[in-house]
């Protein structure tokens, strides 16, 4: 199993990717949520200028946000900087990338069609989109390489997303648990490594891991799964958002998504909640978790750091991974 990292893209992410490469991370993927974070492709290109070997990519791109020709052009531009072997394109149906703008996730048939169109464009083929035929017609190598072949990933938690990953020859990205029988898959984890004797409710831990704990509420509310994930306590927490009009409630719910704890969530995010979410573990418990993923056949463990000291979080997880 290899170690990678995923980032809620910030202006500091290129430098954090440089640090991750020095720490031995082999892949860095950046989230594409433009309502929350700066442009993912610009951040990746800046990271390309600072690094030598780490694989760079989206984790994940949301098709509804970008025309397939625009995506094909962005991919070829990144490939021109680092080569095909250092580029990966992860695609998903949309959690924060869509829902932070008040829209539901895309249908998987749409996601699959989008990937197939972009792949065709990268091969230099003609493809139909929105009733018209298009093709990448860069005049020569001054305008970009081609044809291009890069690695693909699909973020799919259910059977439909898993099927799309198989159909388009992509790695499967997971958050909940590994998918049995899928040969090439990545697990995304977040949280912090506790110092010896550290209180899970300390300001440092809440800063680094509280956003991941709050993610469970955000996902449960947006997917109508509060009873399944959180029970009655989840309903009390969700009710704290009831005073906000429904047409703008998503703006408050996704405020500081996975990078911190917003003001509404803060009274509910304490040491017990962080511990229950698995976001604050000792080095020993992190090692056991990593071993479980490796035994399940996971190809890549991707760690998403958060908080005000990203280098500390990257270093702590890398140390446990090497132990």
Last residue of some domain: 239, 254, 276?
A: 276
| Same domain membership, residue 107 and residue 209 | no
- pLDDT greater than 80 at residue 121: yes
Do 171 and 262 share a domain, yes or no? Answer: no
Partners of residue 192 on adjacent β-strands: 280
- pLDDT score, position 215: 81
DSSP state for residue 241 in the 8-state scheme: T
d(CA 120, CA 133): 12
Contacts of 258 (CB under 8 A, 6+ apart): 8, 96, 190, 211, 212, 215, 304, 306
Q: Indicate the pTM of the whole model.
A: 0.94
CATH of the domain at 170: 3.20.20.30
C-alpha span between 158 and 182 (Å, rounded): 13
Instruction: Answer yes or no: do 54 and 25 share one domain.
Output: yes
The answer to whether 205 and 271 are in contact (CB under 8 A) is yes
Query: Which residues are paired to 174 by β-bridges?
Result: 187
In the chain, the number of structural domains is: 2
**Do 82 and 176 belong to one domain?**
yes
CA dist 94 and 5 (Å) reads: 20
Residue 34 is predicted with a pLDDT of 93
CA 54 – CA 151 distance, rounded (Å): 14
Give the sign of the dihedral formed by CA 198, CA 201, CA 202, CA 206: positive
Given pLDDT bands bounded at 50, 70 and 90, which one contains residue 14?
A: very high
CB burial of residue 185 (10 Å; 0-12, 13-18, 19+): buried
Cα 265 to Cα 149, 150, 215: the distances in Å are: 43, 39, 10
User: What pLDDT, on the 0 to 100 scale, is given for residue 105?
Assistant: 86
Q: What is the mean pLDDT of the chain?
A: 93
Average of pLDDT values for 286-296? 96
- Summarised one tens digit per residue, pLDDT across range 207-246 is 999 998 888 777 777 777 777 656 777 788 888 889 999 9
- Domain hosting 229: range is 203-276
Question: Does pLDDT of 176 surpass 90?
Answer: no
Q: Which of 65, 314, 308, 133 is nearest to 210 (CA)?
A: 308
- Which pLDDT value is given to residue 17? 98
């Amino acid at each position: 199993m290899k170690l990678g990292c995923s980032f809620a893209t910030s202006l500091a992410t290129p430098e954090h990717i440089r640090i991750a490469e020095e720490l031995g991370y082999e892949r860095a993927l950046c989230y594409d949520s433009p309502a929350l974070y700066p442009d993912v492709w610009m951040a990746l290109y800046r990271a390309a200028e600072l690094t030598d070997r780490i694989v760079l990519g989206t984790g994940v791109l949301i098709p509804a946000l970008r025309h397939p020709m625009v995506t094909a052009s962005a991919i070829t531009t990144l490939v021109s900087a680092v080569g095909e072997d250092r580029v990966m394109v992860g695609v998903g149906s949309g959690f924060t990338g869509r829902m932070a703008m008040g829209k539901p996730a895309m249908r998987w048939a749409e996601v699959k069609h989008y990937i197939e169109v972009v792949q065709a464009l990268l091969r230099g083929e003609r493809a139909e989109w929105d009733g018209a035929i298009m093709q990448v017609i860069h005049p020569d190598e001054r305008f970009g390489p081609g044809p291009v072949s890069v690695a693909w990933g699909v973020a799919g938690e259910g059977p439909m997303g898993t099927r799309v990953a198989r159909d388009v020859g992509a790695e499967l990205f997971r958050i909940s648990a590994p998918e049995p029988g899928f040969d090439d898959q990545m697990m995304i984890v977040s949280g912090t490594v506790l110092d010896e004797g550290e209180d899970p409710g300390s300001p440092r831990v809440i800063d680094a891991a509280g956003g991941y704990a709050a993610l469970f509420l955000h996902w449960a509310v947006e997917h109508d799964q509060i009873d399944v994930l959180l029970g009655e306590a989840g309903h009390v927490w969700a009710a704290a958002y009831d005073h906000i009009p429904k047409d703008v409630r998503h703006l408050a719910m996704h405020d500081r998504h996975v990078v911190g704890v917003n003001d509404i969530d803060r009274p509910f995010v304490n040491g017990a909640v962080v511990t229950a979410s698995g976001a604050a573990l000792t080095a020993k418990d992190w090692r056991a978790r990593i071993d479980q993923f490796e035994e399940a056949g996971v190809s890549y463990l991707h760690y998403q750091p958060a908080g005000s000291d990203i280098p500390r979080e990257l270093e702590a997880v890398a140390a446990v991974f090497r132990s």
